[in-house]
Structure 1
Amino acid sequence: MRSAVAASAGAGGRLLIEWLIVALISLGAVWGLTRTSIADRADYAIYDALMATQSRPASNEIFIIAIDEESLGTIGRWPWPRSTHARLLEWLAKVQPAAIGYDVLFVEPSPDDLAVAQAAKAAAPVILPIAFDVPGNNGAPFTAELPTPVIRAVTTPAHATLYPDADGIVRRVGLIAGGGTQTWPHIAELLYRRVRGHASPIFANAATDALPADAFSVAGQVLLPFTGPAGSYRTVPFSSVLNGEVPREMLRGKIVLVGSTAHGQLDQYATPLGTMSGVEMLANATDDLLANRTIRQASPRAYLAFGLLPLIILLIALLLFSPALNLVLGLLLIAATLGGSATLLIWARIWFPPTAALAGLFFVYPLWAWRRLEAASAYMTRELRQLGSEADPLPGRGSAESRTQFLREAIDRQTVMLHSAIERVRDLRRFFGDSIQGLPDATLILDGEGRTLLANRAAERLFVPLLDEPALAAEQKLDDLIRHLAPTATAATFDQSDDREIVSADGRVFVVRVVPLVDATGAPVGSIARLTDISAIRLATRQREDALQLLTHDMRSPQASILALLDRNEDIETLRARIAGYAQRTLELADNFVHLARAQAARPKQDLLDLSALLIDAVDDQWVLAQKSKIRIETKGEDDEHLVLGDRSLLSRALVNLIGNAIKYSDRSTTICCTISESDDVVCCRIIDQGRGIPADELDHLFDPFTRVEARGRRDVGGAGLGLSFVRTVIAQHHGTIHCESEEGKGSTFILCLPRAEDPDA
């Protein structure tokens, strides 16, 4: 028992250790993926695929004046004279746009700076870009290249820096750039303020975090859900504006962006939707800010929680559920992770990269399956070896270990050992079943609730006729079976190991013993019940007691009386008469006892008899005794034939005893009526006397051996009380019934019923 408990605990302990190792490895892997850029490319691919499904029209409030190939061909090679830019600004001053984002660097002085400044002042507000040199001059972390002082005095500088992700694709912008006290907002942020009148919420949150002074950095980063590929926003050539080909009303009150779209200007960037110019990136950023469509990256803590939560759920499920259910749960968690990431991106505008969470789910299931299989394999090998080392109760079986010593593969060794163990269990089960079936006593194997699991052939023969079913039903309770066998048995549950005796309806005596069954660990699993028929033992005991009573009392009493008479000086004739009476009484006692013993021991014959003829013969046999007491015996129904199967001598003797008792216990000059009738396939004989009746408290013991009825005021009729016991024994052997109906002062009626037989010649 201890070894079984230890093996079970060892298997569970190792499995728990394996689970802890798998949990630590998988959780650490997910944590590492969320803290490094290893999974970025996969996250970018998922992000791009999701954003490709979100299409929308470009805003009509944004116009691009493009420095394109047409304008370069018309105006000339780049860079253009700043007077050209002054002309455009002068034209825009007359248009009166909402704001101007001029994505052209004016960092080097020029003779035309004053003209540009005057035009910019008239067209205000004008926002110009800043260039950053990283690292900066003289060991500075960065140097900001601002517009010339003349131009800077009438414009607003802002940054337009774009940084690609690790895969070289630009997906985001930073609303603040710089370091320490030198920080500048993005051009799109300033355009937003011009239109909305306040800073964007994202910029306000990012501005609370100071940028480090010892390095150039970007804060307030937002992902851009691009409107579409290059050319999505309304664009007019720079040269067309200067040539007066663009109506001023088209741009009035709009956000005007000026920048290069020509491929040779080195202002082209890779995006999820293809190559796009810097000014078009600026248009997308401005449009997204104004429409509140920008996407925020989840915080590191939230990202870590998003990655760990599905993994933790699956890890807990691995300990609680079956492999099939865990597989389904794992697939559902994968779908939920992808669906949750997409839902948060599209509806909440928050990007939770799902690759770390998916990698954890994909990684933990095969890892756990491997370690669990390894633990189960080791446990099975250990248990099979231990089983093989135990003594086998069945002889002639070789060791499984000797058959596996030449096998190299572990799975081959385990297969051979498992096959041997299965054969052993099958043989033991067959041996156990044959042993149970071979038991002579009715034996039942019961579960913990007392329901039948297995019954041997003796139990089938005992209970099936009582249940009126073809076979003993499974899960039949022992208590119910006992009640069918012995209706008068007590209602107590048979769940103790003490022997209990019950008496069946046909008079057989059984000893019921229930013994608990336990498993290898000592835990109760059921019980085994055995019913032993001790009717022969009880009969022999009762016969022995009857014989002792007969010899010690009933037969001894007449002999003692004879000896007493011999000591008295009486008339010889009187002495002879009394001695003859006592001898006759002793002879009757011996005859009755012999008849009763034979009736109990012998099996009655099954001859076809006419009960009417037997009754007439019994009446004739007792006619002389009846005449002495002037008792009249009448018979009714004897003219008809009433056939039964039985032993002529036993049934005749039983009828003679009943009629003789009626004569003995009846007063002189009375009548005894004997009738025979048939009903419901039963032949009944009634013997009715006009005696003084039997007390009610003596009726229950009337047919017991050595029981005599001593009615008040009645003469002593002698006898040892074996006649009625003989009658009951004979009638029971013929599958009949007998009982007495009596009331003091009104006589008695003995009713004998036997199964009716059919005449084969009829």
Structure 2
Amino acid sequence: MNWDWLPTKTTPKTLGLALLLLFILAELTALPRRLDYWLLDSAMLAVPASVSPDTVIVAIDDASLSRLGRWPWPRQVHADIISKLHKAGAETIVFDILFTEPTADDAALKKAMRAHGNVILPLHLSRTDTYFPLSEKLPASDLVSAASGLGHAHIELDHDGLARGLYLFNGMGDALWPSLALAATGTTAKPTDSQSLPAFLNTREGYRVIPLAGTTGTLPAYSYESVLNAPPAPGRFSGKTVFIGATAVGLGDILPTPFSGLNQPMPGVEFHANAYSALKQQLQIRRAPHWAGIGLAVITLVLLAYLLPRMRMTYTFFTCVSAGVALLLLYMVMLGVFRVWLPIAHALVIPLFAFPTANGLRLTVANRFLSRQLDELARTPGITLPELSMRSPTQLLEHFQALFQPRGWLLQEDGRILSSRTLKPTDIPDMQKNGVWQHADNHSWIQLKRGDCRYTLGLILPNDLSREAIQRYLQNLNFSGTVTAKKKSVGGENISARIERVKTATERLNHMQEFIRRSFERMPDGIIVTDELGIIRFANGHIENWFGEPMPSVAGLPLTRLLEGHDPRETPPWHETVSETLTLLQSRTVDLRIHHKDFLIHFAPFALPDSAQYGIVANISDISELREQQRQHREAIDFISHDVRSPLVSQLALIEQLKRDPSHIEQSQLEQLGRLAKRSYHLAEEFVQLARAEQLTKTRFYECEFLAVVENARDSVSEQALEKHISLHLQGTEDLWLKGNAELLERAVINLLTNAVQYSPEYTPVNLQVFRAGHQACLTVTDEGMGIEPGELPHLFDRYRRQRNSELAGARGAGLGLSFVKTVVEKHQGEIYVTSRPGEGSCFTLKLPITDPIG
């Protein structure tokens, strides 16, 4: 890349033009707008608005729809709710429900509205057809005359799709209707400032940002059905403004807000209630004109362009940070004190660009060379390996011993023996050249020179088929390399020394990146990379965790020694696998077991950079889960082939018997056939339910109430308990909301209750208790049955595991029920445990995290 076009001197003009260009480019993107939204959302999330004490919601929720019937309801129902709220002392009633079409019940609703005297109804603007303009959709005429006011129900969505505010006035032509929240304060429609506007023109005034009090459910809300069917509650509604609207899924409008995004959108009625609460407390936020943000950006650009070129490099950063902090303080004062949303993102991007731009222009000359070197570094990665000519002969012998396991060796320094086994100095042949191997049968010799010393190294290799490959491998090793003297740094200016240091570091990093690039071309889970002698040069974090070896001790250790220390074996020995990978250049795949976990290690040779030699990439994969799945698969096959097949065979035999003599079918035979069919069904059902639980993911989670789940499970088991005269006692009244799958949770509780009823004697109780403990919803199921032997407790939740006592008592099962319960609980990030004493009964305790632990 050519950097010569860059300026060599920074002036206010050059810096200003550069910042102006960057500012224009930023304005062409959505960055400033997104940054303004993020700042506003962060401020509102950090300090949520308080809730006005006279604001309350009556929600048309799922429970109301379930009890009052499908929507729409007769308007007599709404008349009854108005009467009930009137008796409770509600000051204002605001409907977020459209009553555009007249019905037969309008008279009753009108009468109730007139009796209360302060009921606000909504209107909306819409097209009757694609080719028609917008028009106002008012409530039915009889209802308009009875309403104390009308308000538009439109909420504005910003460019990112989130609802942050609304227009206080909206309408067609000259007349502007107030918003529902504004109408609730007594404000009526007003004419526009411009007269004689076309009737088809959608006119809006007074946009306000609504500071929300929190996520969905923050404002006090009561179910429509409970308010309608319960006695009047002056303590809840006296003197308050009541907003009535839909919160049930799929019924009303839902709006993503800064508090929830798309995950938990807010119902429209709750947004209007938030708007009213903010109006009552004068917390609504006005939006500053667009030109204010642009003007502030221009002022910031001019100031920084004038100041930065006159400052030292170390001061530019603090100046830019100070400018950003000043803008944020101005933003916070305008928002918190004056309730004005000033878009500062246009100005805030200027300090972000100013610091790197000013310093970039100022350091052009020095950075030209550095930038070229960094570009080259990014294109050519690599690593430098220690050369064989630099390694000591003693170290080389140790590495050969670890790699080839020779039967004998000899290392001699100037006639003095350093290490020997089997070989003697008289066995040394006549060698003429240094650094070149000589082979005679299975004897291999080399002479090395290190400084003024001369070393002789000999090996007795295995006399088998691998000998020739090892000798060929040794012959290719380069021991005659020469050390290149490092160039001294060029004296003179500091910049020259700096450039020389960067050049040296760049070359070193180039080799390192090249080594990493080659060794990680097919990166698996755990990676070990060795050099040409099988010495570990690199290992990733998985190796340290799995082997329990600190990384500094792994580097420089022979791979064979690491493997033998954790998984010693005789057939095939590790050194043979490693050496054959290097000498024959063939991949190997071997099982490995470390700390009771199963692994698969794959040895693959790879060419070292800048060399004709090969190293090893050892790919280690954790297959413990796969082995466990294989075990479960075998258990499932055994289960199907025995437990499921056995009752089916019995059914077929009984059917054949009935077919031979159909005229003498006894009731006992039919009952036996029914029992067998029922057992087959239960076995298949347990198997399917366990498979469903194991495949459960959070995508199938939703909010559910735990006490309702337990109540449904109790009702499902009540008939079975009644047959044995067993009473099911449920204690617990607190609503505990979970994020989970209610269907599988209910099935898990049913399994616990079924076991408790099945293993309890007649006329005994089974107690259920639902309660909250910290951040968890808890359930205990206690029975007075036969209990569980202590030796069976550790294996109680294992699949296909049956209790000995239950089998002897004739209560046969597949052994999947409690395994299903544990799987469901673990999928919900919970826990389950059991306490039991033989002959006294058992107590199962289930704990699940609640949705809102702070609430």
Normalised to the residue count of structure 2, the TM-score between the two structures is 0.39
Normalised to the residue count of structure 1, the TM-score between the two structures is 0.44
Larger Rg: 1
